[in-house]
Amino acid sequence: MRILHLGKYYHPHRGGMETALRELAEGLAARGVEVSVLVAGGDRDRAEPLTAGGGRLVRAWTPAVLNSQPLNPTLVGLLHRELAAFDPDLVHLHLPNPLGAAAWLVARAGRRRRPPLAIGHHADITRQRLGRLAAGPLQEACLRQALGIAVSSAAHRDGSRELAGHRSRTAVVPFGLDPAPWEGVVARGDGPFLFVGRLVRYKGLDVLLDALRDVPEARLAVVGGGPLAGRLARRAEGLGVADRVEWVGEVDHDELVRRLAAARALILPSLDASETFGLSQLEAMAAGVPVIASDLPTGVREVAAPGASHLLVPPGRPGDLAAAMRRLLADPKLALAMGAAGRARQRRDFTRDAMIDRLLAWYGALLGAERT
């Protein structure tokens, strides 16, 4: 089987879509599937091995980014080339990605042999009204063409506005992590609370800073970057908590592991359904670290085991978030037990192997249906 993934970015670029795509692509390659991945993110067009064991990663020249959308003048040409040279059995398009959707529609129209399309739908476009108006028709055209659509949770399938007309063709394939890189991690729980994510509005870091003001014995490390970095740093100053916040920025995997091992807990204070899954909570669980998360009706809730691996709090409520932080600070044994429960849950329900098993079964069903 030959699968071409058309995504937005790829490792070392950090984000939920990027982490999921890497686990999917490398997991498929490890099973002997021929994999090619086409993404943005290069100072020029370039190709490199996906893994030491095989696969191909093509990064398209990205001279600019507009509203989080990479602009890739060469993307259509690169996609034409991959379709011709790689000759995939299936193209797996990852949305939201308006330029990727446009590139697929253009490249498909110009080909005699048109490989079937599958879509991985990671989130609706919710925060950019103009972007939604421009991108919506492109992505809807791709959704209509697709043999099938995969999402990471039943809540995403049932709650997505963009999938309202496509739910009967939507399969649930929960994300999973390869546990091997986390095997030697020993969670100590003697460091600061940890936030990992993009510094954008829906991630709720401003609410976490408000909560931190009410927990004077707590410290916080913030891993990630984004457009609100300056405003959030000024907010910390205004709240009088700047001396207890470390702005770490982007980190590699080894540094993330080190930060997680020390963390009191990972905090996922997201505000709304833009947080469709929360892959950072799986990373914390894999490391044996407890999670405090917003109780969102999305994949966040489906991953959580409330009271066992997670403390769930109402989104946007700094008082409730502060109470959860104080609870773990006051009871280190509880924090360690929650971390152990999370690690067991991740290894049972959210592994890369389980995800790839479901994905291969889904691919097989789509291709089998197309042949009949």
Domain edges within the chain? 2-176+351-371, 180-349
Nearest in space to 40 (alpha carbons), one of 66, 187, 165: 66
| C-alpha separations of 318 from 183, 239, 298, 307, 308 in Å | 34, 13, 20, 19, 22
Q: What is the pTM for the complete model shown?
A: 0.92
Predicted pLDDT at 130: 45
The torsion angles phi and psi of 100, rounded to 5 degrees, stand at -65, -40
Predicted pLDDT at 372: 65
The reply to whether 2-176+351-371 and 180-349 are identical in fold is yes
Predicted pLDDT at 339: 97
Q: In CATH terms, is domain 180-349 a member of 1.10.1740.10?
A: no
Predicted pLDDT at 87: 94
pLDDT tens, per residue, the chain with 372 residues: 999 999 999 988 888 899 999 999 999 999 999 999 999 988 999 999 998 888 999 999 999 988 778 899 999 999 999 999 999 999 999 999 999 999 999 998 877 778 999 999 999 987 655 455 677 899 999 999 999 999 999 999 999 999 999 999 999 999 999 988 898 899 999 999 999 999 999 999 999 999 999 999 999 999 999 999 999 999 999 999 999 999 999 999 899 999 999 999 999 999 998 999 999 999 999 999 999 999 999 999 999 999 999 999 999 999 999 999 999 999 999 999 999 999 999 999 999 999 999 999 999 999 998 776
Whether the ω angle into residue 12 lies within 30 degrees of 0, i.e. cis, is yes
Predicted pLDDT at 214: 97
Predicted pLDDT at 52: 82
User: What DSSP string runs through 174-221?
Assistant: ---B-SGGGTT------S-EEEES--SGGG-HHHHHHHHHT-TT--EE
2-176+351-371 in CATH: which number? Answer: 3.40.50.2000
